[in-house]
């Protein structure tokens, strides 16, 4: 949690300025402006250049202070009375708070507030006038859809909470904010429906956040690793998205959204395995189309996970499973290849991962050219030179394309990691190794929890009433209830049962 200075502010204006210089190290972006209202009232305004809206500062705050009536109204008043008069009658600002602690003063100053100090009192006025430059709301980059909202979260926390408020216009949508990180003091907000979300879940999320003790929180990935149930798994146990509609849908199901200032990716807890194969677009088009697309995603996941390992196993140990014509074709292709199928698969997979990482890191204007060179020229040259068989290029290409079908990148990365282990098992003992690997993966998935919720729910433990929105997606009139594993206060979300419950 953030480090605070509990000592009170100095009652003298000059001492306050010296204290700020000591705490901030004479930072050149600290701006102070002293005013003399009337004959005796000294006022000083402090703010950080670049974090406040200077237009509003000059047109609203300074205009109010230097108006014709302000000096007369403050004449003869004590410092504490002057602060109350400024707060209630003179200053034209909606966000005004009286503070008297040094730690809170510095934190608000660094958060984009204007601090007004009256000489002779330890009470200061915090005026909320944030005005830094930020990115405008634009189309999400990580989870694109053909049909649906085209707006995504930004790095501004208040913009993100407003986007969710636009989706859910309900007084039960509660927002709580804390600061995490002794140095960065990053604002982290929780959003949930108080009449739907389970109270124990909300308290557990708060407990895990409050026990974080670190210097910095710069992105939601920091929070995710601190609060996840276990780090000993390649599978993501907390969902993240930069789409407001996806997060709003999770909140409506009784989940808790965790928003972090400075990143467009919002966390959603708890989550289950099948959620990573569901796209926001599934709910904006017909149920039969959505079901077909989900089947394709699961098929793509298994291809990403098993295709190279299966090829290595059958070409090395189980040639009798391959049709005769295909065996002859594969043998002809591999005649000049100097490596066994296991080494060949590892080389191609590593080459693909290098090309994929290069495509992410290099400038965008040349990324497409590198991708074409890597996939076409290098692949064709390797086949022509006899280093790699054409069949292996096809297998790796199918695997690479399939990995992009999975909507959430975290699950795709998990499949890519496990794929190397399965290739090793296939090269060691063939299909038996793959079966052993799949068996261990299933056991591992069944043992995982996300904030106490079984990761494989509703498949294991099996819940028939929740299967209508897993691999299949039933039409909306049939989706009357929320997922049972969330233990929500309000189980029904539509139909006569909901109306009876609300009464």
Q: Which of 110, 128, 146 is the last residue of a domain?
A: 128
| Domain housing 99 | 13-128
Q: Which of 271, 304, 336 is the last residue of a domain?
A: 271
Which tokens sit at 400? 């690479």
Q: How many CA atoms lie within 13 A of 37 on its CB side?
A: 31
Residues 299 and 351 in one domain: yes
Q: What is the pLDDT of residue 380?
A: 75
CA geometry: angle at 278 spanning 276 and 284, to 5°?
A: 155
Within 10 angstroms of residue 234's Cβ, the number of other Cβ atoms is: 15
Which tokens sit at 132? 């830094």
Under a CB-based contact definition with an 8 Å cutoff, are residues 410 and 236 in contact?
yes
Beta bridge partners of residue 52, listed in sequence order: 130
Residues 318 and 435 in one domain: yes
Residues 298 and 431 in one domain: yes
Residues 439 and 323 in one domain: yes
- Which residue stretches of the chain have pLDDT < 70? 1-6, 38-39, 67-68, 75-76, 364-377, 496-503
Does 300 fall in a domain?
A: yes
CA geometry: angle at 408 spanning 306 and 417, to 5°?
A: 40
Residues 244 and 350 in one domain: no
Residues 185 and 206 in one domain: yes
Does 8 fall in a domain?
A: no
Distance of CA 238 to the CA centre of its chain: 9
Q: Which of 271, 302, 331 is the last residue of a domain?
A: 271
Q: Per-residue b/e over 489-503, b at no fewer than 16 CB within 10 Å?
A: ebbbbeeeeeeeeee
Does 215 fall in a domain?
A: yes
Residues 338 and 298 in one domain: yes
- The closest of 169, 191, 261, 278 to 222, measured between CA atoms, is 261
Beta bridge partners of residue 178, listed in sequence order: 188
397: which residues sit within 8 A by CB, 6+ positions away?
Answer: 375, 379
Under a CB-based contact definition with an 8 Å cutoff, are residues 387 and 336 in contact?
no
Residues 338 and 417 in one domain: yes
Quote the radius of gyration of the chain (alpha carbons, Å). Answer: 30
Distance of CA 400 to the CA centre of its chain: 25
Model's pTM, two decimal places?
Answer: 0.86
Residues 173 and 295 in one domain: no
Does 150 fall in a domain?
A: no
Does 7 fall in a domain?
A: no
Instruction: Write out pLDDT tens, residues 405-457.
Output: 999 889 999 999 999 999 999 999 999 999 999 999 999 999 999 998 999 99
Does 84 fall in a domain?
A: yes
Does 301 fall in a domain?
A: yes
Does 379 fall in a domain?
A: yes
Q: What is the pLDDT of residue 440?
A: 96
Residues 482 and 354 in one domain: no
d(CA 405, CA 409): 10
Total tally of structural domains belonging to the chain: 4
439: which residues sit within 8 A by CB, 6+ positions away?
Answer: none
Residues 403 and 338 in one domain: yes
Residues 291 and 260 in one domain: no
d(CA 136, CA 495): 39
Q: What is the pLDDT of residue 187?
A: 92
d(CA 382, CA 412): 27
């Amino acid at each position: 949690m953030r480090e605070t200075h509990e000592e009170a502010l100095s009652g003298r204006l000059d001492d306050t300025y010296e204290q700020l210089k000591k705490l901030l190290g004479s930072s050149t972006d600290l701006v102070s402006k002293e005013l003399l209202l009337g004959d005796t009232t000294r006022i000083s305004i402090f703010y950080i250049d670049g974090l406040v809206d200077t237009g509003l500062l000059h047109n609203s705050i300074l205009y109010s202070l230097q108006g014709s009536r302000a000096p007369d109204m403050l004449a003869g008043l004590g410092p504490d009375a002057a602060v109350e008069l400024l707060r209630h009658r003179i200053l034209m600002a909606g966000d005004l708070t009286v503070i008297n602690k040094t730690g809170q003063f510095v934190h608000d100053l660094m958060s984009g507030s204007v601090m007004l100090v009256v000489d002779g009192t330890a009470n200061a006025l915090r005026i909320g006038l944030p005005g830094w430059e930020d990115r405008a709301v634009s189309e999400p980059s990580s989870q694109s859809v053909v049909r649906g909202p085209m707006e995504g979260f930004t790095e501004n926390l208040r913009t993100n909470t407003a986007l969710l408020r636009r989706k859910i216009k309900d007084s039960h949508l509660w927002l709580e904010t804390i600061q995490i990180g002794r140095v960065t003091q990053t604002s982290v907000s929780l959003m949930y429906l108080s009449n739907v979300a389970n109270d124990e879940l909300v308290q557990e999320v708060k407990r895990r956040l409050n026990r974080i003790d670190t210097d910095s929180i710069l992105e939601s990935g920091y929070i995710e690793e601190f609060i996840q149930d276990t780090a000993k798994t390649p599978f993501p146990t907390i969902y993240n998205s930069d789409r407001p509609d996806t997060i709003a849908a999770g909140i409506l199901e009784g989940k808790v959204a965790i928003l972090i200032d400075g990143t467009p990716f919002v966390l959603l807890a708890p989550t289950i395995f099948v959620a990573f194969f569901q796209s926001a677009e599934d709910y904006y088009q017909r149920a039969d189309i959505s079901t077909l697309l989900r089947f394709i995603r699961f098929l793509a996941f298994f291809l990403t996970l098993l295709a190279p390992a299966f090829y290595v196993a059958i070409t090395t140990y189980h040639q009798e499973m391959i049709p005769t014509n295909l065996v002859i074709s594969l043998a002809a292709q591999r005649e000049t290849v100097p490596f066994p199928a296991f080494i060949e698969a590892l080389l191609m997979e590593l080459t693909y991962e290098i090309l994929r990482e290069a495509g992410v890191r290099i400038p965008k204007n040349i990324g497409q050219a590198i991708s074409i060179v890597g996939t076409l020229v290098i692949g064709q040259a390797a086949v022509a030179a006899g280093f790699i068989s054409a069949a292996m290029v096809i297998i790796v290409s199918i695997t690479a394309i399939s990995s992009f079908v999975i909507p959430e990148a975290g699950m795709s990365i998990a499949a890519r990691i496990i794929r190397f282990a399965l290739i090793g098992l296939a090269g060691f003992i063939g299909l038996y190794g793959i079966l052993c690997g799949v068996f261990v993966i299933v056991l591992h998935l069944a043992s995982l929890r996300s904030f106490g919720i079984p990761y494989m729910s509703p498949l294991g433990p099996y819940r028939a009433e929740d299967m209508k929105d897993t691999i299949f997606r039933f039409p909306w009139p049939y989706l009357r209830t929320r997922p049972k594993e969330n233990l929500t206060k309000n189980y029904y979300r539509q139909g006569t049962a909901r109306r009876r419950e609300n009464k």
